[in-house]
Chain A
C-alpha cells in the first residue's frame, strides 16, 4: 500500500487536518452578491418528528417551542409553524413507510408501484428550473448521512437517500463528503497554474468539454431510443459543469476557509455541512440547496447523546433515547439558523432574511408512521412567506397545498408537473403561508 484514500483526500489540500472541525471556518466579513427572490434551503429530518417535542404553540407573533426544541426559541419570531398536514401521496403509495415518506414529502407524487425509479420533480427543483438563478451551481444537494440499510421492502435506495428529484427517474443523490463539497465549491484553481499558463489552460478545459459534448452527440446518434433519452442526463450535467467553469469564480471577498477533512465523525459533520451551506449562500455559489441531516430510515446511533440505539429502532421503541436525538436535531437547526442570521447579505439584511429554510420531517410521529400529521416549520425569507411567529393548523389539508403556496410565493404559478398543480393531491394553495 503506497497511497490511501485519505492521501487522495488530502492531496490537493496540504493544510488539511482532521480535527477539530469548526476551527477551520473563520467568520468572514464578505457579503454575498445576490438579490431578487430569497434563497431556498430544504432541511430534511428522518424517522418522523414527535409534534409534542417539535411543533410550537401560540402564534400571532408569539410562538413558543416545546422544551425539546427550545434551541429554536430565539428564532420564534422568524418562524412559521404548520401542523397537521396530510401527506396523501405517502399514504396512497405502496412502499415501506419511510421510503414513501422521504420520497413524497417534497415531490407530492403518488407511487403506483416501486419498479424503476418513480417519484417526480421536487419543490426545490421546480424553483431551480423556473427561477434559473445565474449562480455557479443551479442547486446543490448535501447529506451528513451514510448509506445503510435502505432498500427495505423493495423500495430502491434513492427513495430514502434523496430529497431532491429533477423528475421521475432522476434522483439528485446528495454529496455526503464535506471535503468533496468544499472542493466543488471553492477549489477554482486552474490545475494549480497561474499567469499565462492558467489562461492557456482555461481555454484548454473548454476545448476538452467541447470535445466531450461532441463525442457524446456521436454516441447518442448510435443509441437506441430509450438510451438516447437516458443520455440526456449526461448533457444536462455537462452543461452545468460548463456553467460552473465559465461563471465568475468565487469572489475575492468570499471568506474561503481551509478545507474540512473528508472523514469527520457525524457529530461534527452536521455543523460542518451547516458552515458549507452558509458559505455556498454567502459566496453566491448557489441559491437553492437541500440538506438531509441523515437519510430516511436512518439507523444512526448517537452514542455522544447517550442514545446508542439505532435511530429508526428507537423511533419505535425507546422514547427516552429518541427525545435526546430529536432535541439534538433542533439544536442543530438552531446552529444553522444562527449562522445565517449572523452573516450579512450583500443586498442588505442577513442571509436568514433572504433565505427561506423549510424544515421538513419525513412524517409525523415515527412510531406509528403517521403521514397524516406532518409538521413542517419555515424560517427566514420573510419577504415572501409569513415567517413572523405564526402557526397554521392545516387540519388535514394535503401537504401539497403548502408546496403550491410556496411556489406561488416564489412567483411560480401552478402550470407544471402534471399540468394543474403540484404533485398528485393539491387542492389549492394553503392559506396564510404567503
Chain B
C-alpha cells in the first residue's frame, strides 16, 4: 500500500498555500506553526482551544430529540427555529450556539406546543402520506409539478399502499384543492381506499375531505385521481387539482403519551401526585438530581399557579412548560458544585455529554442510573456504559448529527442539479443518496469493520432508485440492500453519491469544490480562503474550445491562486469520472487524471483510495468525530491524546467512540474559567 502521499498535500494546503513551507519532522506541528504565522487560519482550528464557556445550548436536532424522549411527542418544533451556526463543519459547537430574543420566544411557544401535545388524545394508529412521500407512485412527473408542499395532479393519479395494524373503522382523509380558470368545469376527484371509491367535486380552498371506511388488518391500496382535467390554453380555460396529503387513521382513540411517560399517578385532584410528577420530570429534563432549593421552588410554583385559579392538571402542564424554558434544560453546563473526580467529570455532566454525543438526546433513565450508581465514576465503567449505548437504537442519531454533516448530506438537500442536464435526478434519488451515505456510515457501527476500510469496503448499499440512476444493477428487493463489492466496483466513502452531487454545480461537476471537500473532510487539510482582494476570474466556458483541465489551468494562472488551486484542481480532477449527479461516465478517453502532490496519478474513487495512507485517514475521521463529540474544533494535538487507539488501521467506530469519551478533551475536569 502506498503511504504518506497526502501528508505532503496537507502541508501544501494548510499553510495558506503561500509557499512558506518549512518542513520539519512532524508535519502537523509544521502546519500549526505555519498557520499561526500566515494569519490566514484562526488558531482555534489548529489548537482546538478549550472553549470560553462550558455552557452548551441544545441545537435543533438535540432539542427535537429531547422533547421526543421526555414527552413522547412526535412534533419537531425546532425545525422552525433559526438555523444553528456551524463551525468547523458541525452545528453543535458550543461557542456558536447562543440564545437570541427570537429564539427564546420560540422556546416558550414550543414548550407550550409539546406539553399540550403530550396530553392530547389521539388515534391509536395514524399514517400520513405527504405528497412527497416515497410510497406514492404518480403517473405524472411529480417533481415537475411540485409547488411548495403540494403537487398539481394535472389529470394524473397517484397510488400507494398503507399498512394498518388492526381491524376497525378508519378515517381516510384527503387534503386537496381545486383550481378553476376561465369557466372550466369544477375539478372532480376520485379518492380510493381498499377498493372503495369516493367521488366528489374538489373544494376551491385547501380542505380536508374525510371518508369513513372499515378496514381489515394488512396492506390496502389508496389512490387519488383527477377525473375531469381540462386544459385549453388558447381559450385561457382550464382546471387543476392541488394535492397535499392523504391520511389514514383509526377512529379508536388513545390517551397522549404523557399518560405512559409522566403520569405515574393521577394528578387530577392530588397535589402530592402532581409534585411527584413534576420532580421526576425535572430530574430528567435537567439531567441531574434536584437540590433542596429546586424542589421547594418547583413546589411554590405549583402553589402559585393553583392559587391563581389553575386546575391541578393545568398547573402541572404549566410547570412542565416552565422547566422546558429553563436554562437548565436548554443548556448543558458544568457548575462549581460538581463532584468531579481527579480524572473524570461529575457523573451527571458526563452522562449528558455521552448522551448528546452518541444519541443526540437527553439521557434516559438507565444512563441517569449509571451516573447515580457510580458506573460513570471509573474509566472502566464509562467504557462499559459506552458499549451498551452504541448498541441502543438511539445511537443511529450519529447518522443524523455526525454523518449528515461529515458526509455533506445537509448540503445535498440544497443541491439543485438542472433537470434539463440531469433528467434522471429527482427527489427520490436525492433521498436515496442521503440514505446510501447514512447506511454506509451506520454499517460501521453495527458490523465493526475497521474505519480504515471505509476507503475500500467489501460492501455497498443500493436501492432500485439509486441503482437505476447510477446505472448499476438494481437489487431484487424493495428498499436498500447491502451488496457485496470488490476492487473495480463502485464502493467506498470516496464514491458516495451524496457528496459527489452536493459538491457539483447545477449543470456540471466541479473539480474545485470536490477537491476542497476531499481536502477538508477526508484529509483534514482544509483550504484557506482566497487572500483578500484577489481577483477571482471566471472559469472559461465549454464553448472556449479548451479542455476542462486547460480551463482550470487558465483560471489559476494568477500566481496567488495557483499555489492553492494547483493542488485542489488536480485532486478534484480525479473525480471527473463522476458527473454532476454522481453517475460514472463510461468514457476511457475522458480526462480524469487526479493527482496527489508527490503521489501517483489516480482515476476515480477506488484508485485514489488505494493511495491514501490508512493511518492518516483514520486520524482525520478521529479529528472530525472528536470535534463533534466535544462541540468545538480540535487540533491534531488533541487527536493524538485520544488514548488507547492502538493500531489505527484496525480501529473500529465503536473503539473510536469509546476512546474519545475517555480522552482529556471529552471527560477530563479542566478547571472552570
Contacts and interface: CB of A to CB of B under 8 A. Distances in A.
B158 to A, nearest CB: 16
A416 interface: no
Given A156-B85, A231-B327, A369 B534 contact: yes
Given A2-B127, A147-B83, A176-B83, 5 more contacts: A153-B529, A157-B85, A204-B305, A209-B325, A231-B327
B327 A222 contact: no
Nearest to B122: A2
30 contacts: A3-B74, A4-B128, A7-B128, A17-B205, A94-B532, A97-B534, A141-B100, A147-B414, A148-B411, A153-B529, A154-B88, A156-B96, A169-B98, A175-B82, A184-B105, A201-B310, A207-B304, A208-B318, A208-B322, A215-B326, A215-B328, A218-B297, A223-B55, A224-B673, A227-B333, A230-B55, A233-B99, A310-B416, A316-B539, A367-B536
Nearest to B293: A218
* Top 9 A-B residue pairs of the complex, sorted by shortest distance between their CB atoms: A153-B529, A224-B672, A96-B529, A115-B44, A240-B101, A17-B206, A237-B104, A115-B42, A114-B42
Contacts of A3: 74-75, 126, 128
B100 A224 contact: no
A291 to B, nearest CB: 13
B289 interface: no
B414 A146 contact: yes
Contacts of A236: 101
Interface in B493-542: 505-507, 526-530, 532-539, 541
B242 interface: yes
Interface stretch (A63-71, A85-93, A326-334): A85-93
B147 interface: yes
Contact of B505 (A12, A154, A219, A313): A313
A219 B74 contact: no
A125 to B, nearest CB: 11
A99 B244 CA distance: 38
Interface in A301-321: 301, 303, 308-310, 313, 316-318
Interface string B304-329: 11001110001000100110011110
A116 B101 contact: no
B105 A240 contact: yes
Interface string B378-420: 0000000000000000000000000000000011001010111
B529 A154 contact: yes
Contacts of A367: 536-538
B148 A268 contact: yes
Interface in A1-28: 1-9, 11-12, 17-19
B55 to A, nearest CB: 4
Interface stretch (A75-83, A258-266, A383-391): A258-266
Contact of A154 (B108, B330, B526, B536): B526
Interface stretch (B46-54, B268-276, B442-450, B642-650): B46-54
A223 B123 contact: no
A200 B206 CA distance: 36
A177 interface: yes
Nearest to B528: A153
A95 interface: yes
Contact of A96 (B314, B505, B530): B530
Contacts of B85: 117, 156-158, 161, 171, 173
B153 to A, nearest CB: 14
Contact of A11 (B113, B149, B534): B113
Contacts of A244: 105
Interface string B84-109: 01111101010110111111111011
Contacts of B104: 234, 237-238, 240-241
A262 B80 contact: yes
Contact of B529 (A97, A229, A234, A313): A97
B549 interface: no
B142 to A, nearest CB: 15
A155 B96 CA distance: 12
B556 interface: no
Contacts of A234: 99, 104, 327, 330-331
Nearest to A111: B42
Given A151-B88, A177-B80, A371-B533, A231 B55 contact: yes
Interface string A208-226: 1101101110110011111
B337 interface: yes
A432 B539 CA distance: 41
Nearest to A302: B416
A261 to B, nearest CB: 6
Interface in B104-133: 104-106, 108-109, 112-113, 122-123, 125-128, 130
Contacts of B321: 208
Interface string B31-66: 000000001111111000100111100000000000
A5 B55 contact: no
B212 interface: no
Nearest to A264: B148
Contacts of B220: none
Given A234-B99, A234-B104, A240-B101, A154 B53 contact: no
A152 interface: yes
B106 A224 contact: no
Contact of B148 (A11, A19, A169): A19
A373 interface: no
B334 interface: yes
Contacts of A154: 41-42, 45, 88, 526, 528-529
Interface string A106-133: 0000000111110000000000000000
Given A151-B87, A153-B528, A171-B85, A301 B416 contact: yes
B79 interface: yes
A368 B309 CA distance: 66
A180 B149 contact: no
A252 interface: no
Contacts of B527: 153
B113 A8 contact: yes
Contacts of B308: 200, 203-204, 207
A333 B538 CA distance: 28
A174 interface: yes
Which of B93, B148, B297, B527 is packed against the most chain A CB atoms within 10 Å? Answer: B148
B89 to A, nearest CB: 6
Nearest to A369: B536
A143 to B, nearest CB: 9
Contacts of B54: 224, 226-227
A8 B506 contact: no
B373 interface: no
Contact of B52 (A1, A207, A226, A313): A226
